[in-house]
Amino acid sequence: MDEGADYRNYTYAKYGAEILKQPERIAFQIFDQKVLHLLRDEYRIPEVTKVEADTLEELAEKLGIDKEGFVRTIAEFNAAVQDGVFNPSIKDGKCTKGITPPKSNWALPIDTPPFVGYAVTCGITFTFGGLRITPNAEVLDTEGDVIRGLFACGELVGGLFYHNYPGGTGLTSGAVFGKIAGKMAARRARQQGPAA
Ligand SMILES: Cc1cc2nc3c(=O)[nH]c(=O)nc-3n(C[C@H](O)[C@H](O)[C@H](O)COP(=O)(O)OP(=O)(O)OC[C@H]3O[C@@H](n4cnc5c(N)ncnc54)[C@H](O)[C@@H]3O)c2cc1C
């Protein structure tokens, strides 16, 4: 994956899918001292799977990964990093050239020990799958017909996302379709009148 393709919120779901394809569904994140202060607080919780080492070889050993392949990959990556001003708050265009996959932004050489490595895997935010609804939040049956009186919103609605998911849109979808579903259900109740 191009780790510098876009801001975190636009990439984390896609990167998670890539991690799921790896052996044992594990990937390793490597940082040097230049960027540690940029990590989110969740990298500092006591349960974190973190190792630290003064050399890349020792880091590979502690992570239990192929030492030679790791050191060679880091050297190739470092040599591919282009000049430019690193700025994590914009897409700074500081990229790699000549390696696959590329890193399109925020590419800095990994060269300032102690190095830090994290073994990471995936969590589930939501499934992307769920009930099919109309724009009025009415649930559709398997024939595509409205099930009268049944409305849905939030987590159990499917069909909004597929290959990727921009962070924040789960709650936005819940708020938008929640309001619509509530309004439509109230309208239907008014039309039907009080229950006998
Ligand atoms: C780790 C994680 C991180 C996330 N981060 C973000 C984010 O940063 N931004 C974002 O927009 N979205 C995020 N989401 C998604 C977002 O949290 C959900 O889209 C949202 O909470 C869905 O709300 P909901 O009310 O539809 O479902 P839920 O919040 O799941 O509510 C359903 C409720 O129904 C209850 N329930 C289930 N069965 C029964 C039953 N039989 N009887 C009674 N009660 C029942 C459950 O206990 C639960 O309280 C994240 C989700 C996860 C898991």
Query: Rounded to the nearest whole angstrom, what is the distance from the C-alpha of residue 150 to the centroid of ligand 1?
Result: 19
What pLDDT does residue 196 have? 52
59, 6, 1, 7: which is closest to 30 by C-alpha? 59
pLDDT of residue 185: 96
The DSSP result for 122-171, as a single string, is ---S--S--B-B-TT-EEE-TTS-EEEEEE--GGGB-SS-SS---TTHHH
Asked whether the beta carbons of 139 and 150 are under 8 A apart, the reply is yes
Burial class (CB in 10 A: 0-12, 13-18, 19+), 196: exposed
DSSP string, 169-192: HHHHHHHHHHHHHHHHHHHHHHHH
Cβ < 6 Å from ligand 1: which residues? 123, 125-126, 154-155, 167-171, 174
Note the pTM of the prediction, 2 decimals: 0.81
Q: What's the gap in Å between 153 CA and the centre of ligand 1?
A: 11
| pLDDT at residue number 195 | 61
- In the prediction, which pLDDT does 157 show? 95
**The pLDDT of residue 193:** 76
Binned average pLDDT, 10 residues per bin, the chain of 196 residues: 94 92 95 97 93 98 97 98 97 98 98 97 87 97 96 93 88 96 95 72
To test the pocket of ligand 1, the residue of 126, 161, 172, 180 to mutate (highest count of ligand atoms within 8 Å of its CB) is: 126
